[in-house]
């Protein structure tokens, strides 16, 4: 469905400390192999240890990895060394103005920055899938300050996606819960509506 709607990439969510929609690693591999060459395949991993992250990428066989928690530079270095060609998306959870400095520090070590609305310092870590928006004014500052592509996530849906594009001017939008039924199945109608918004707002 995502490929037919014109999606640029699909995110395959591995085990997380909280949030809906995780997929076990064997199924991630099955999906990644099935769509090889048709769409970018992104592994969302909550691991931070260099060796564990590298092993996770190798087992799942994706083109890209989304690091949903903060990692040390050594983790990115290990990915570059042992998973050549795999692009790194580092997530920054926008909880305040400090996110700008966090994004600046992370940008040189990855290929893209993704701005999300998690709470990694919560009693139970939230690393995505919250359905909440964050302060787009901070996100706008981050996009303007960085040279690398910045993806916007967090509480997006077909109704607010255009406003997000207009204000923040991200490279791309990442959307999950905003395209789902209450049972978390993908809603084909919402997906089409979202794709139409993207066709209008992303012209290149």
Domain 2-199 carries which CATH code? 3.20.20.70
pLDDT tens, residue by residue, 56-115: 999 999 999 999 999 999 999 999 999 999 999 999 999 999 999 999 999 999 999 999
CA distance 91 to 105: 12
Nearest to 94 by CA among 120, 61, 129, 67: 120
Interval 159-183 mean pLDDT: 89
Comparison of pLDDT for 192 and 100, the residue scoring more: 100
Structure confidence at residue 174 (pLDDT) = 94
pLDDT band per the 50, 70, 90 thresholds, residue 35: very high
Taking 90 as the threshold, does the pLDDT of residue 183 lie above it?
Answer: no
Higher pLDDT, 131 or 145: 145
Q: What is the pLDDT of residue 204?
A: 43
- List, for residues 130-141, the tens digit of each pLDDT value: 889 999 999 999
**pLDDT of 197:** 83
Does residue 184 surpass a pLDDT of 80? no
* pTM of the complete model: 0.94
Q: What's the pLDDT at 201?
A: 74
Q: How far is CA 173 from CA 8, 12, 29, 30, 123, in A?
A: 10, 16, 24, 25, 28
Q: Specify the range with the lowest mean pLDDT, choosing from 121-125, 136-140, 150-154, 162-166.
A: 121-125
């Amino acid at each position: 469905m995502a490929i037919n709607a014109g999606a640029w990439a699909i995110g395959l969510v591995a085990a997380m400390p909280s949030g809906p929609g995780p997929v076990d690693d064997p199924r991630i591999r099955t999906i990644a192999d099935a769509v090889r060459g048709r769409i970018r395949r992104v592994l969302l991993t909550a691991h931070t240890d260099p060796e564990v992250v590298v092993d996770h990428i190798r087992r799942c066989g994706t083109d890209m990895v989304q690091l949903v928690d903060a990692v040390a530079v050594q983790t990115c270095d290990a990915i570059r060394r042992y998973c050549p060609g795999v692009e790194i998306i580092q997530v920054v959870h926008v909880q305040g103005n400090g996110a700008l400095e966090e994004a600046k520090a992370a940008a040189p070590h990855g290929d893209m920055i993704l701005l999300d609305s998690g709470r990694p310092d919560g009693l139970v870590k939230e690393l995505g899938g919250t359905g909440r928006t964050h302060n787009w004014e901070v996100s706008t500052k981050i996009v303007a300050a960085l040279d690398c592509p910045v993806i916007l996530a967090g509480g997006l849906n077909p109704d607010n996606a255009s406003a997000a594009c207009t204000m923040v001017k991200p490279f791309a939008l990442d959307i999950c819960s905003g395209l789902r039924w209450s049972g978390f199945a993908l809603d084909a109608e919402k997906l089409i509506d979202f794709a139409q918004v993207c066709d209008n707002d992303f012209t290149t």
